[in-house]
Amino acid sequence: MTESTTIRWEQDDTGVVTLVLDDPHQSANTMNQAFRDSLAAVTDRLEEHRDALRGVIVTSAKKTFFAGGDLRDLIRVTPEAAQDVFDMSMAVKRHLRRIETLGKPVVAALNGAALGGGFEIALACHHRIALDAPGSKIGCPEVTLGLLPGGGGVVRTVRLLGIADALLKVLLQGTQYSPRRALENGLVHEVVDTREELLARARAFIDAHPESQQPWDTPGHRIPGGTPANPKFAANLPSFPALLRKQTNGAPYPAPRAILAAAVEGAQVDFDTAQVVEARYFTELATGQTAKNMIQAFFFDLQAVNSGANRPRGIEPRRVRRVAVLGAGMMGAGIAYSCARAGLDVVLKDVSPEAAARGKGHSEKLCAKAVAKGRTTREKADALLARITPTADVADLAGCDAVIEAVFEDTALKHKVFQEVQNVVAPDALLCSNTSTLPITLLAEGVERPADFIGLHFFSPVDRMPLVEIIKGERTGDEALARAFDLVRQIGKTPIVVNDSRGFFTSRVIGHFINEGVAMVGEGIEPASVEQAAAQAGYPAKVLSLMDDLTLTLPRKIRNETRRAVEEAGGTWTPHPAEAVVDRMVDEFGRTGRSGGAGFYDYDEDGRRLRLWPGLREHFTRPGHRIPFRDMQERMLFAEALDTVRCLQEGVLTSVADANIGSILGIGFPGWTGGVLQYINGYDGGAGTGTGLPGFVARARELAERYGERFTPPPLLVEKAEKGETFTDAR
Ligand code: NAI
């Protein structure tokens, strides 16, 4: 086999070979066929020239060191190709193993990010030096894509760090470390500041360790912390399943379980057998549906959404320098912090200087916490705070090139504040409202430049929630949409774009989830099992507790307004069975949700959740009434999925990627599904109804028969199922 240019061989006259990873066809190196061929070729060559070599340095000519597995290949893998996947995993492992046992020092000079396969290559080197490049990350994030590291990553991290640390620090959470934190956690040996130093230190290691080998190849090596065969370690074993339960909440995420099994089983056998164990589990995950769902969502869809697939073309990108945030309440304060963190100057306005200062206080608290946790320095935190100017004076908004309004949810008030500011800020300032329920088209009627008016729907808590839903009103211009998109990216969040409609996409769809949970309580199902069903379906928040957090009164108010609008337009309102439950909770029992001190749950004076309200059993539960657990879970998942299809049908949504990403990042749709439409694509109804869209349609009809017409599949879904199509964006 001849050497390809994917891995360049550069040998100096002192016998040091530098292997430069440099895929000529891509901007980043990935574990594709060309790389695997190249790896085989250089491995042969290293062995051939072994006696003339003093050592090997592995580095890359790209910005990153190595990007990991080729996800384009991986997402296409079918269960029938399991043997090929296994063979591929074993081939890479064998080559890396040959390099690692060459008998010469091998150093990884990590010039940039080394994630997944990249870190696995580094782990096969005797010494790892990382350049402290901005944004450079090190770790094994495979679990976040439903996979495990299949290039020896499980085998080596276990032998390097011990089972517990390998699982907790590297494998189960998929943490991506900065070079310095990677050093602190034992993932690399040295961190340097310049590229020259990187190579100089690599050479120095080779000079000083002519006979280097891996710790696990030295006689007498023991896995740190012991193995399950060791009684001390065995005492800790029972905590692992609990750890898993904590991580997955019983939801169907196969990767953490497979990682745990590969680590524990692999620790009890020799290195080469452990590699086989790892390859088997890798193959199981790579050929399964969950990995496909997660790769689709967290890689392809996220990339499409963030890269602007939905941003109007041909409009020059613009950056906002100074933003006016109107209303310094919960949302405004959070928005101000997120903007200032991204380097924007923020003028935070409320009705009084005290209220505005309180809003800035939120940033002060978040900064103090970040400094205490070592996530930022005091200087950086002070600079962030200095960018926020609290005020009650409209004149201070002069020169702002964007406005984000977050005052009370009241159309007249919102019209009034825009009237006040629209001629003070820059004449072409972008005008955004963070309304959660009011139509953007209606709000735009209150401004002089409706083409510049747009919805920017943030989620709470703003500093932690990564999504922003951009809402186009009827009169919103393309320029405003492009600028809103750029602003959301500028503050490091993920923008989805939807057309104006009641509840937009996210609030509307999450409403169906909540209604379904509440309806089940109304049918007499045990409330605790409704909560359990939501948790085990993979929802991060249980359904009744979420309803309490939102309050029972707000959705009721919105529902009554919607009903009025529907009836005024001559339509008929079909009440959802949840409505009667909410009405009784509020009217008969005075339980309005968490902020009112009582809802589906009881709360203490500090708002801490105590227990499900015993009255639910008394007033709603029909003792012994049960429906299949799977029905409970699928009623919630289907309710959201079906309404998402309706959103697509009605043009509220225009892209599948937006639906998938919006559902996971905005409203807690379970990540294992790959998002709300990918859930339909990958649906597995088993022997009952079959898979994919046809299986989903058949199952929806079954649910409609059992639980109500609302599960009837919408025409768009039926049509796609009949044509053999799936939900994908045509791009
Ligand atoms: P909030 O009640 O915490 O804050 C509203 C703030 O606006 C108060 O500080 C108030 O003093 C201030 N304000 C009232 N009149 C003003 C005026 N004329 N000029 C300047 N400031 C004025 O409300 P919250 O929760 O922050 O909500 C704000 C907006 O964000 C609402 O439209 C809401 O629907 C929306 N929203 C809320 C979410 C949430 O989870 N709470 C999520 C997404 C959007």
Which residue's alpha carbon is at the smallest distance from atom 40 of ligand 1?
Answer: 460
Q: What integer is the mean pLDDT of 668-685?
A: 96
The CA 722 to ligand 1 mean position distance, Å, reads 46
In ligand 1, the atom with minimum distance to the C-alpha of 414 is 18
> How are beta strands 55-60 and 106-110 bridged, if at all?
parallel
The CA 462 to ligand 1 mean position distance, Å, reads 13
Reference 175, options 137, 146, 127; nearest CA is: 137
The CA 405 to ligand 1 mean position distance, Å, reads 8
Question: Of the residues 48, 100, 120, 409, which is catalytic?
Answer: 120
Q: Which amino acid is at 171?
A: L
Q: What tokens were used for 321?
A: 């320098």
Cβ(351) to ligand 1 under 6 A? yes
Contact indicator for 13, 7 with CB cutoff of 8 Å: no
Contact indicator for 519, 493 with CB cutoff of 8 Å: no
Q: For residue 587, what is the DSSP state? A: I
The CA 62 to ligand 1 mean position distance, Å, reads 46
Number of Cβ within a 10 Å radius of residue 666: 24
Q: What is the largest CA-CA distance in the chain?
A: 88
CA–CA gap between residue 642 and residue 717 (Å, rounded): 8
Contact indicator for 513, 634 with CB cutoff of 8 Å: no
Q: State the pLDDT at residue 486.
A: 97
Q: State the pLDDT at residue 470.
A: 98
Q: What integer is the mean pLDDT of 246-252?
A: 81
The CA 459 to ligand 1 mean position distance, Å, reads 12
Kindly report whether the peptide bond that precedes residue 461 is cis, defined as omega within 30 degrees of 0.
yes
Q: How confident is the model at residue 232 (pLDDT cuts 50, 70, 90)?
A: low
Alpha carbon of residue 422 to chain centroid: 36
Catalogue the long-range contacts made by 698-704 (C-beta closer than 8 Å, 24 or more residues apart): 699/634, 699/638, 700/638, 700/642, 703/631, 703/634, 703/635, 703/638
Q: State the pLDDT at residue 241.
A: 75
Contact indicator for 98, 43 with CB cutoff of 8 Å: yes
> How are beta strands 16-21 and 7-11 bridged, if at all?
antiparallel
Q: State the pLDDT at residue 227.
A: 78
Percentage of residues in the chain having pLDDT higher than 70: 98
249 pLDDT higher than 60: yes
> How are beta strands 190-192 and 345-349 bridged, if at all?
unpaired
Q: State the pLDDT at residue 731.
A: 58
Q: What integer is the mean pLDDT of 270-283?
A: 97
Cβ(417) to ligand 1 under 6 A? yes
Q: What integer is the mean pLDDT of 527-546?
A: 96
Residue with tokens 């962030």: 384
CA–CA gap between residue 575 and residue 522 (Å, rounded): 13
Say whether 593 sits in a helix, a strand or coil: strand
Reference 495, options 518, 472, 523, 528; nearest CA is: 472
Question: Of the residues 100, 142, 284, 469, which is catalytic?
Answer: 142
The CA 168 to ligand 1 mean position distance, Å, reads 40
Cβ(406) to ligand 1 under 6 A? yes
Q: What is the mean pLDDT of the chain?
A: 94
> How are beta strands 190-192 and 127-131 bridged, if at all?
parallel
Q: Which of 335, 348, 407, 459 to mutate to test the pocket of ligand 1 (most atoms within 8 A of CB)?
A: 407
DSSP one-letter string for 259-310: HHHHHHHHHTS-HHHHHHHHHHHHHHHHTSHHHHHHHIIIIIIHHHHHTTTT
Q: State the pLDDT at residue 598.
A: 97
Half-sphere exposure of 315 (CA within 13 A, CB side): 17
Rama region for 174: left / alpha / beta (φ>0; ψ in -120 to 50; rest): left
Contact indicator for 256, 154 with CB cutoff of 8 Å: no
Cβ(460) to ligand 1 under 6 A? yes
Contacts of 661 (CB under 8 A, 6+ apart): 297, 301, 302, 305, 467, 494, 496, 675
Q: Which of 326, 335, 358, 408 to mutate to test the pocket of ligand 1 (most atoms within 8 A of CB)?
A: 408
Active site residue 354: no
Q: State the pLDDT at residue 247.
A: 77
Q: How confident is the model at residue 614 (pLDDT cuts 50, 70, 90)?
A: very high
Cβ(347) to ligand 1 under 6 A? no
Q: How confident is the model at residue 38 (pLDDT cuts 50, 70, 90)?
A: very high
181 pLDDT higher than 70: yes
What's the helix, strand, coil split of the chain in %, to 5?
55, 10, 35
Higher per-residue pLDDT: 589 or 67:
589
Say whether 128 sits in a helix, a strand or coil: strand
Q: What integer is the mean pLDDT of 277-287?
A: 97
Q: What integer is the mean pLDDT of 402-419?
A: 96
| Per-residue pLDDT tens over the stretch 117-153 | 999 999 999 999 999 998 899 999 999 999 999 999 9
Say whether 412 sits in a helix, a strand or coil: helix
Active site residue 142: yes
Q: What tokens were used for 98?
A: 């040959």
Q: State the pLDDT at residue 374.
A: 85
Contact indicator for 657, 664 with CB cutoff of 8 Å: no
Burial class (CB in 10 A: 0-12, 13-18, 19+), 329: middle
Q: Which of 436, 437, 471, 550 to mutate to test the pocket of ligand 1 (most atoms within 8 A of CB)?
A: 436
Q: Which pTM was predicted?
A: 0.92
Following CA atoms 534, 537, 539, 541 in sequence, which dihedral angle do they give, to the nearest 10 degrees?
30
Q: How confident is the model at residue 558 (pLDDT cuts 50, 70, 90)?
A: confident
Number of Cβ within a 10 Å radius of residue 564: 11
Q: What tokens were used for 222?
A: 């023991």
Contact indicator for 262, 41 with CB cutoff of 8 Å: no
CA–CA gap between residue 17 and residue 174 (Å, rounded): 32
Helix axis angle for 527-537 and 543-550, nearest 10°, is: 100
1 pLDDT higher than 60: no
Contact indicator for 170, 187 with CB cutoff of 8 Å: yes
Rama region for 461: left / alpha / beta (φ>0; ψ in -120 to 50; rest): beta
In ligand 1, the atom with minimum distance to the C-alpha of 435 is 32
CA–CA gap between residue 183 and residue 383 (Å, rounded): 28
ipTM: 0.98
Q: State the pLDDT at residue 3.
A: 47
The CA 342 to ligand 1 mean position distance, Å, reads 22
Q: State the pLDDT at residue 701.
A: 98
Alpha-carbon distances of 184 from 160, 169, 177, 216, 580, rounded to whole Å: 14, 11, 10, 21, 56
Q: How confident is the model at residue 2 (pLDDT cuts 50, 70, 90)?
A: very low
In ligand 1, the atom with minimum distance to the C-alpha of 410 is 32
